[in-house]
């Protein structure tokens, strides 16, 4: 399909602006003036819309079908939320509007803060972080501020993570200026307590943990884990990416965690738009509250206001008060369920266990437990027996009309297939997905080429990721655009994490 | 209301297939002590109709820019968002997709990002753009992290005339990055290149904004030169809407260009979600944070797009990654792409000129002393209102006009200064009204 | 603003390819005397932004049901339209398609119409539905034309308690159809079956409304029986929203069921576009007006949908067609399908019960004399306000409540009657407010 | 693809309604009460949206690509118009709202009336008719009322139409209770004046004519035609379906027509939604004004009101004042062009002539003239030489990604292909379309089976219309739904008008 730039034609116009007569002329000093115009696309609106309509038809979303991308919680995105976020009172509100002209926005944010505190079982919430990974970084900054405040700033220099951790956790540790220590996983998929004990000491600032873990398993010793850290004065950070498993069932605060981030775009149904937006509010225990970002939304009598007067705050991690539109959608989602959030999580867990039950005799199950909202299988046997990888299985699923699960993650499971159905899928879809995976396992034995060359039914065949990285063509080059056609293609894809 | 799809019969069949008797059993691994023994204390579930009424009531408590004649800017602008942007963003296949990890499922999003990267490179004169950052503040922190690793230095310089929120975010991030932050004061509304040159010594990066927070045009080429002389990376924080009339940072020596994308295709939305953009010269490509899409071929030799250079990223490099970012702002960046494509080069230029002309008209009409005399400004300018600007705002708002931003909120010595933003949505008549109200 | 795509170069190339030197030449066949020698006297073109402002200003001069607590009904109702309806209607592939003449290009629309036809048949208990008529008035005229041809008779009977606009439209069409129109008065709010039986003699059709214009439940089975006895076709004009709780016309002897679809999935929109539905017993299928979609197979034996029984239609039968309709209201009917599917059978029933309960509550709370004592009503009912209802409306509107429709506009002896419609969107609190305002 | 009913499952819910406590119970008398529930679909909202998303992806619209369906004027539908029609002040306005609460709506309609009068060159406008065909019928009713008023009601019983006329014309004539007389077409595509003269007399009520005609040709003798009718005291009705050719160039009123309908969904870009909505306002000369439908929107000092006091009016042809949302969109479209409507028409005509110039050597051109906004080719030679019909050409165009033109219409052209590009298409699309039609002509010679079996690349293959008509399965039958699978298929399609 053509790039939008390849539809361009000199002098063609899309939108037009109002023309105001008789105004002073715009005068940019010569040396600051644009020397040559940016080569933006030149096409009329009809073709513009067609181009993006065509692009959309080459894309798969939750609206298209089942999207069990593990750790990403791809649930239905209610259209009413899109309607609500488009109310002029929300979408056309300037963030510098005086508080008296933003009471509705402030109230919504305050209510969301309260809800997230209740769901997490903690005391204070900042909505500012723009995504889970920024929530992590903010959480680590809070630890830093907390220990500095206690005079332990120099001493506490290490963060412990699990070997099942999402890549954002170690990356955040580095960006926050901490050292990283990794803890192993025991045979039931819990943190290895012995390993953990050996790594936690008075230099430890804290733990970062996802629970249920990225294996989809709840850590059975979570109380012991919390004790180990708290005993040395360290803090516990909860990566809330898997909150969809436990809303109303178990709360991070009750487990002993001190800081939590919540991926609003996962548990609370923010459409992810092919990469984002998201929201990563953090919820913290009392003692960390003084350090959370400014401004904070507070209730003040009958009204609401922004509190900037927080002398021990770490400062700001993002502009203004965070991605407001995301709050509107997630608040709406939560209000649709109310205390029924528990049934939401129960159903997510039921759906996952149903898939697991139907698949575990055919694919390898590294940890034989009931799962939470997701589970991890392995294609190890397929690989050994037929040379079929998790990647091949994933590509073949496309031909059956499904988005593949997350693969090659978590790292401790070879040939991992990480499957998360979410609560909004009907049984029919789950059954069809199982049937496809079972058929694929048979095909792996009977017609392995079918898998290795998959997908067959998508707008493109398997794409060469190695060529992309080598050539690094990252923008259109107009007349000078490199012509790849004719190059030898070996559609190699990296057997690395795809998803989560 | 709920969006659950299982019937009671489904549930029973599924439990039977799993071999458990109730949903409770799934939670038996959760230690009793951490199981919640009560229902969440949340207000009852609402039907769609009730939900709508509730949120409409909240929305009605806000005074949006359709209700009040607004000249607020200071980083977020009331530019017109054409309907075609909304139409594209509401395409479910794009709206409800996750990050395009599986390229064969995601050519639509991937190609759109590639096109977006191209547009950002064209605007900024850079070689490579990522798929977006969170907003115009966090991309500044990203740039610092890049610069630190590229130069091995531990200091960043930011001009005081850079958006205060950008500076605050950099300041929050700096300790974790092991960076010291130095601010260079403005002199009458712009930055003195010599002063900046002095500060730039041993700096990893020098960040300035063009047009700056006061709306004034910085001597950007000279500021970049000051950075380059010190072998620091010159980082320009630019307004995309200005780049039809203002020179591209790549053309005057910057190594990195960043900015807030909101004005180009996103609603104000009480500050988000929006997109921050970050583009750089090719030499920094392996230190870029975030997603980058590259062109390649498929098994049949057809062109296609994939996430590329992933060895920079957290999911592969983990603690050695160039950033921890994963979720970004692709949908908002897509809005930016649609918007910029709708405008085209001529439209972008018209837009810049229109805003600038209207702002010039406003300056004339207001007949107020400029806060920074003899400076060229773009779409925003500061005037002295002869009393605390807060009071001027309060009085004007009582008459249905929000005249601008109170500069004193961020700059102590400018209590009487009002920052007035004029976009193409404000007509000459609107400006006359502002003048009238401010005179009163 | 324009949506033209040609550049000047395009134009030149095209003119050259055609072999003319200017666009003017295309018009040389137009006699000079009928060529317009000036430009159209229209206001200048507006940019999208200006257009938006202009229409926002017009819209702001209307008092819509989000601004005023409204109990207006009388044929158009403020039922809740769920967001998923809008989402489906904004799918460009459906929104911007023409009539599905080429089935291989149009399976989406065709299948949707087939599903819609099924839903209408389920609601009404009929065998066949067309793809929609213009609205709830014109389908009544359609039914008359059908009945005339089926029965060969030249009279139609309509009850006076049928929506006045429906009656007016039938009256306008009747002369062309060669039909005489007879109205049967209501007796205290409903129709007397005996009186109707008398009038039905030699009639092609007998049209009544259920619930009728006053919101009262007619003795519908008896009215249908009266028609059937005279071998006239019984035509029920029904409210789709009532059909979860009220019997399907097909079950009590009607030959044709028609109605206004607006309340089921369309906005009020100052009366349009909406859809009228028309369904009939199988025996009348060849006399049905408008599009009908049927199931078939493709060359490979796969199921598919096509426009069918087209020999009824104007493009084939021309002056012998069952109707002249071509453009209908498919998109609005699609909204109806999405809405009805969203509700499901239980939802439709809940909706009917909720409206009825709320209306019952309103009757209690208003404490006003019913215009038609001892009648069962559905979601709408008439009360006497003790003065001209116009004045009551005026006074209530001054207090932000639109209390209903002035019955005297259509029924001379009912000047003091107010027709109050209560949908699920009106809460008990809203009704209390109505009571308070009407008491004042 | 499954029908939505085939996704149903007992007891599953989509939307939920508010529940109000403590209200009186709804009591329907037994004999009026629903005896068995309608079998509406039962599915949750996520699958509901997926179903319709999937349906949409099996459909082709202007947003998908080029749609040169002759006589249907498939032009771009600006998205701003969709936004405007959704303003609460428009979409949530009750039609019984008092005039003082509907001034914006009334003003918009009044302005649209004025504009349509100017465009048509006539004096008064009624927006009430819901589509072109209803406009026709209304126009004929006006004639009837007009003659009745003059005491010529008994005398005038005939309407003359062209043999090129759209099917709605004769159908409307019958529905209005008139007799039909058909006039032939001369060798240049004009009305045959001799034939016409022989058919017009004092029994003639009027003419119905499309001009430019459905051949895309402007009647060169239109002034004579008008004279012929006016001389016998008859009226002229202008079928405005082809108005897109002549906005600002030539006006029906100036041509001598007395009544005009305007298909708002053609010339003024109302999205047609797979069949409708549309709008068919009529514009009339002074002397017909007393008869137009009630109510009429009138200006009254500074305000606007509905005038019901029109004693000679024919009455009402539709509820209220017509399809208001359609007016909003068309008004917006017109205001986007202003007097530039002329350039709109010029461009439409240019696009059509360009296609014609490039195609006329390959396909037969029955009337060799420059065309207006559309033109009619014939596949007669292809049929004679290769047995390839217009239907085959149309089906094969689908494989090239184009919607076919209207075929088998107008009736006087055998194997007609009626092509209307509209003004919003860029030259690239036109060229691609020509290239496809030229390639198809070659294929007709070289690989005729490819055409006869086309389409190959659509979600379904050629469908059997004959089976559909014979079986007349017009709704889903649930358990009793007939099973066609296995029946002998002969994908016969009727070689009848498809389009227009
Ligand atoms: C387990 C886990 N942690 C952290 C993240 C990071 O969250 P975000 O994408 O919101 O930055 C993700 C998802 O990307 C995740 O799956
Ligand atoms: C020439 C002609 N006349 C009349 C009509 C009827 O118009 P409508 O579809 O609006 O009823 C059409 C289109 O369908 C047409 O093409």
> Would you say A190 and A151 are in contact if contact means Cβ atoms under 8 Å apart?
no
How many residues belong to chain C? 440
Query: Cβ of A342 and B40 within 8 Å?
Result: yes
Over residues D287-316, mean pLDDT: 97
Q: If phi over 0 gives left and psi between -120 and 50 gives alpha, with beta otherwise, what is residue A256? A: left
CA dist D452 and D253 (Å) reads: 46
CA dist A316 and A295 (Å) reads: 8
Q: What is the pLDDT of residue C1?
A: 80
Query: Cβ of C3 and A15 within 8 Å?
Result: no
CA dist B90 and C84 (Å) reads: 12
Given a cut of 90, is residue D222 above it in pLDDT? yes
> Would you say B22 and B30 are in contact if contact means Cβ atoms under 8 Å apart?
no
Mean of pLDDT over chain A: 97
Over residues C343-399, the pLDDT tens digits come to: 999 999 999 999 999 999 999 999 999 999 999 999 999 999 999 999 999 999 999
Query: Cβ of C49 and B92 within 8 Å?
Result: no
- Side-chain-side CA neighbours of residue A221 (13 Å): 17
ipTM over 0.90: yes
Chain A segment 232-271 residues within 8 A of B by beta carbon are 246-251, 254-256, 263, 265, 271
Q: Which residue of A has its CA nearest to D64?
A: A50
CA dist D377 and C137 (Å) reads: 40
Given a cut of 90, is residue D26 above it in pLDDT? no
D76 touches chain A (CB under 8 A): yes
Given a cut of 90, is residue A314 above it in pLDDT? yes
Query: Cβ of D43 and B50 within 8 Å?
Result: no
Note the ligand closest to the C-alpha atom of A242: 1
Residue of C362, C363, C372 lying closest to C414 (CA atoms): C372
Positive or negative: CA dihedral D355, D357, D363, D369: positive
Over residues D457-469, the pLDDT tens digits come to: 999 999 999 999 9
Q: How many helices (H) and strands (E) does chain A have?
A: 17, 12
The string of DSSP codes covering B217-261 is PP-HHHHHHHHHHTTPEEEEEE-GGGTTTBPPGGGGT-SEEEEE-
The whole-model pTM stands at 0.98
- Which pLDDT band holds residue A307 (cuts at 50, 70, 90)? very high
Over residues D333-362, mean pLDDT: 98
For residue C1, the chain A residues in CB contact (below 8 A) are 15-16
Chains that touch C (3 or more CB pairs under 8 A): A, B, D
Given a cut of 90, is residue D90 above it in pLDDT? yes
Q: What is the pLDDT of residue C143?
A: 98
> Would you say D94 and D112 are in contact if contact means Cβ atoms under 8 Å apart?
no
Query: Cβ of A130 and B138 within 8 Å?
Result: yes
A334-338, C208-212, D18-22: segment of lowest average pLDDT: D18-22
Residue A369 backbone dihedrals phi, psi, to 5 degrees: -135, 160
> What is the SS3 assignment for C84-143?
HHHHHHCCHHHHCCCCCCCHHHEHHHHHHHHHHHHHHHHHHCCCEECCCECCCCHHHHHH
For chain B, residues with pLDDT lower than 70 are: none
Cβ(A168) – ligand 1 distance below 6 Å: yes
- Which pLDDT band holds residue D350 (cuts at 50, 70, 90)? very high
Given a cut of 90, is residue D486 above it in pLDDT? no
CA dist A248 and A337 (Å) reads: 11
Q: How far is the CA of A335 from the centre of ligand 2 (A)?
A: 48
Q: What is the pLDDT of residue B440?
A: 79
For residue D15, the chain C residues in CB contact (below 8 A) are 82, 84, 342-343, 347
> Would you say A180 and A170 are in contact if contact means Cβ atoms under 8 Å apart?
yes
CA dist A5 and B111 (Å) reads: 11
> Would you say A469 and A407 are in contact if contact means Cβ atoms under 8 Å apart?
no
User: Ligand 2: which residue has its CA nearest to atom 9?
Assistant: C327
For tokens 């980083």, what's the residue? B75
Note the ligand closest to the C-alpha atom of C138: 2
Query: Cβ of C80 and B56 within 8 Å?
Result: no
Chain C: give the shortest CA distance to residue D404, in Å.
8
Pairing of strands C303-307, C180-184: unpaired
For residue D15, the chain B residues in CB contact (below 8 A) are 1, 47-48
Query: Cβ of B49 and C87 within 8 Å?
Result: no
Contacts of residue C153, defined as CB under 8 A and 6 or more positions apart, other chains included, come to C147, C202, C203, C204, C232
For residue B260, the chain A residues in CB contact (below 8 A) are 319
CA dist B253 and B39 (Å) reads: 60
D17 touches chain A (CB under 8 A): no
- Side-chain-side CA neighbours of residue B98 (13 Å): 26
D298 touches chain A (CB under 8 A): no
Over residues A213-225, the pLDDT tens digits come to: 999 999 999 999 9
For tokens 């400062």, what's the residue? A315
Q: A169-190 as b/e, with b when 16 or more CB fall inside 10 Å?
A: bbbbbbbbbbebbbbebbeebb
Over residues D170-187, the pLDDT tens digits come to: 999 999 999 999 999 999
Chain D segment 278-297 residues within 8 A of A by beta carbon are none
Over residues D487-500, the pLDDT tens digits come to: 988 888 989 999 99
Over residues D261-283, the pLDDT tens digits come to: 999 999 999 999 999 999 999 99
Q: D268-290 as b/e, with b when 16 or more CB fall inside 10 Å?
A: bbbbbbbbbbbbbbbbbbeebbb
User: Ligand 2: which residue has its CA nearest to atom 8?
Assistant: D132
> Would you say A425 and A366 are in contact if contact means Cβ atoms under 8 Å apart?
no
Which residues line the pocket of ligand 2, CB cutoff 6 A?
C 326-327; D 71, 131-133, 166, 168, 210, 214, 239, 241, 263, 278, 280, 500
Q: What is the pLDDT of residue A490?
A: 86
> Would you say C281 and C126 are in contact if contact means Cβ atoms under 8 Å apart?
yes
Q: Can you read off the two tokens belonging to residue A483?
A: 């012509």
3-state secondary structure at position C173: helix
For residue B82, the chain C residues in CB contact (below 8 A) are 48
Q: What is the pLDDT of residue C260?
A: 98
Cβ(A129) – ligand 1 distance below 6 Å: no
For residue D338, the chain C residues in CB contact (below 8 A) are 42-46
C215 touches chain D (CB under 8 A): no
Out of C272, C334, C350, name the one closest to residue D326 (CB): C272
CA dist C63 and C59 (Å) reads: 9
How many other C-beta atoms can be found within 10 angstroms of the C-beta atom of residue A262?
28
> Would you say D407 and D498 are in contact if contact means Cβ atoms under 8 Å apart?
yes
Positive or negative: CA dihedral A123, A125, A131, A133: negative
Cβ(A131) – ligand 1 distance below 6 Å: yes
Angle at which helix C164-177 crosses helix D132-149, to 10 degrees, equals 70
Given a cut of 90, is residue A26 above it in pLDDT? no
Q: What is the pLDDT of residue B204?
A: 98
Given a cut of 90, is residue A201 above it in pLDDT? yes
Pairing of strands D282-284, D124-126: antiparallel
CA dist B349 and A220 (Å) reads: 62
Burial of C107 (0-12, 13-18, 19+ CB in 10 A): buried
CA dist D149 and C203 (Å) reads: 29
Burial of D154 (0-12, 13-18, 19+ CB in 10 A): exposed
CA dist A243 and A210 (Å) reads: 9
Question: Number of C:D CB contacts under 8 A?
Answer: 750
For residue B88, the chain A residues in CB contact (below 8 A) are 49, 52-53, 56
Over residues C33-65, the pLDDT tens digits come to: 999 999 999 999 999 999 999 999 999 999 999
Pairing of strands A158-162, A179-183: parallel
Q: Which residue of B has its CA nearest to A222?
A: B31
Given a cut of 90, is residue D438 above it in pLDDT? yes
């Amino acid at each position: 399909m053509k790039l939008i730039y390849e539809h361009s034609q000199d002098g063609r116009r899309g939108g037009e602006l109002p023309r105001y007569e008789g105004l002073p002329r715009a005068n940019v000093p010569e040396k600051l003036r644009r020397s040559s115009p940016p080569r933006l696309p030149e096409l009329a609106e009809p073709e513009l819309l067609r181009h993006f309509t065509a692009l959309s038809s080459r894309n798969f979303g939750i609206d298209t079908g089942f999207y069990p991308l593990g750790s990403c919680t791809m649930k239905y995105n209610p259209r009413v939320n899109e309607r609500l976020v488009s109310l002029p009172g929300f979408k056309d509100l300037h963030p510098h509007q005086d508080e008296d002209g933003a009471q509705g926005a402030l109230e919504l944010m305050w209510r969301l803060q309260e809800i997230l505190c209740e769901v997490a079982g903690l005391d204070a919430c900042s909505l500012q972080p723009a995504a889970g990974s920024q929530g992590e970084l903010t959480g680590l900054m809070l630890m830093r501020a907390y220990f500095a405040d206690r005079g332990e700033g120099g001493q506490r220099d290490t963060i412990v993570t699990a070997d099942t951790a999402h890549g954002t956790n170690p990356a955040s540790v580095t960006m926050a200026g901490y050292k990283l220590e990794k803890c192993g996983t025991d045979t039931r998929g819990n943190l290895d307590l012995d390993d953990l004990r050996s790594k936690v000491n008075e230099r430890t600032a804290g733990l970062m943990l996802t629970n249920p873990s990225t294996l989809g398993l709840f850590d059975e010793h979570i109380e012991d884990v919390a004790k180990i850290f708290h005993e040395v004065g360290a803090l516990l950070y909860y990566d809330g990416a898997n909150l969809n498993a436990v809303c109303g069932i178990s709360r991070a605060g009750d487990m002993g965690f001190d800081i939590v981030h919540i991926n609003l775009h996962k548990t609370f149904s923010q459409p992810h738009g092919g990469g984002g937006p998201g929201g990563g509010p953090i919820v913290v225990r009392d003692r960390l509250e003084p350090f959370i970002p400014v401004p904070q939304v507070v209730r003040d009598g009958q009204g609401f206001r922004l509190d900037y007067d927080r002398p021990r705050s770490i400062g700001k991690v993002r502009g203004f008060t965070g991605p407001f539109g995301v709050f509107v959608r997630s608040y709406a989602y939560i209000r649709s369920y109310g205390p029924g959030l528990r049934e939401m999580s129960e159903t997510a867990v039921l759906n996952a266990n149903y898939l697991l039950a139907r698949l575990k005799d055919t694919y390898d199950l590294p940890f034989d437990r009931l799962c939470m909202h997701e589970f991890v299988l392995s294609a190890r046997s397929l690989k050994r027996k037929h040379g079929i990888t998790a990647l091949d299985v994933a590509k073949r699923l496309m031909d059956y009309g499904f988005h593949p699960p997350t693969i090659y993650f978590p790292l401790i499971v070879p040939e991992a297939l990480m499957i998360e159905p979410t609560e909004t899928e009907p049984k029919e879809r789950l059954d069809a997905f199982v049937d496809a995976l079972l058929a694929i396992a048979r095909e792996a034995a009977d017609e392995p080429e079918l898998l290795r060359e998959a997908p067959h039914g998508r707008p493109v065949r398997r794409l060469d990721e190695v060529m992309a990285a080598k050539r690094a063509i990252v923008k259109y080059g107009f007349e000078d655009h490199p012509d790849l056609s004719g190059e030898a293609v070996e559609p190699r894809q990296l057997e690395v994490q795809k998803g989560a | 209301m709920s969006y659950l799809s299982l019937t009671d019969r489904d549930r029973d069949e599924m439990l039977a297939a799993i071999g458990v008797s109730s949903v409770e059993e799934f939670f038996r691994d959760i230690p009793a002590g951490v199981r919640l023994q009560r229902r969440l204390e949340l207000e009852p579930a609402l039907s769609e109709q009730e939900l709508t009424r509730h949120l409409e009531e909240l929305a009605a408590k806000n005074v949006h820019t359709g209700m009040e004649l607004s000249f607020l800017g200071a980083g977020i602008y009331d530019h017109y968002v054409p309907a075609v942007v909304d139409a594209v963003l509401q395409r479910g296949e794009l709206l409800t997709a996750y990050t395009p990890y599986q390229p064969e499922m995601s050519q639509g999003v991937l190609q759109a990002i590639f096109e977006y990267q191209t547009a950002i490179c064209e605007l900024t004169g850079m070689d490579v753009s990522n798929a977006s950052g969170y907003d115009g503040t966090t991309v500044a922190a990203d740039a610092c992290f890049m610069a630190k690793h590229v130069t091995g230095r531990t200091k960043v310089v930011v001009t005081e005339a850079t958006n205060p929120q950008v500076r605050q975010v950099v300041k929050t991030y700096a300790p974790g990055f092991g960076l010291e932050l130095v601010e260079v004061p403005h002199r009458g509304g712009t930055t003195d290149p010599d002063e900046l040159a002095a500060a730039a010594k041993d700096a990893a990066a020098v960040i300035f904004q063009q047009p700056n927070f006061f709306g004034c045009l910085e001597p950007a080429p000279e500021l970049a030169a000051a950075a380059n002389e010190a072998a620091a990376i010159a980082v320009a924080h630019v307004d995309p809407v200005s780049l039809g009339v203002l020179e591209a940072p790549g053309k005057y020596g910057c190594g990195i260009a960043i900015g807030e994308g909101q004005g180009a295709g996103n609603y104000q939305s009480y500050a988000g979600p929006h997109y921050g953009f970050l583009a750089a010269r090719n030499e920094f490509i392996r230190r870029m944070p975030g997603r980058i899409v590259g062109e390649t071929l498929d098994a049949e030799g057809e062109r296609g797009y994939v996430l590329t250079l992933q060895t920079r990223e957290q999911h592969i490099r983990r603690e050695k990654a160039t950033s921890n970012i994963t979720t970004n702002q692709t949908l908002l960046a897509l809005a930016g792409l649609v918007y910029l494509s709708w405008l085209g080069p001529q439209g972008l230029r018209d837009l810049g000129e229109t805003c600038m002309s209207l702002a010039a008209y406003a300056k004339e009409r207001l007949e107020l002393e400029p806060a920074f005399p003899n400076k060229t400004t773009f779409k925003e300018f500061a005037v002295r209102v002869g009393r605390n600007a807060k009071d001027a705002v309060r009085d004007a708002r009582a008459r249905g006009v929000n005249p601008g931003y109170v500069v004193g909120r961020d700059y102590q010595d400018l209590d009487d200064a009002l920052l007035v933003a004029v976009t193409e949505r404000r007509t000459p008549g609107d400006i006359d009204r502002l003048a009238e109200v401010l005179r009163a």
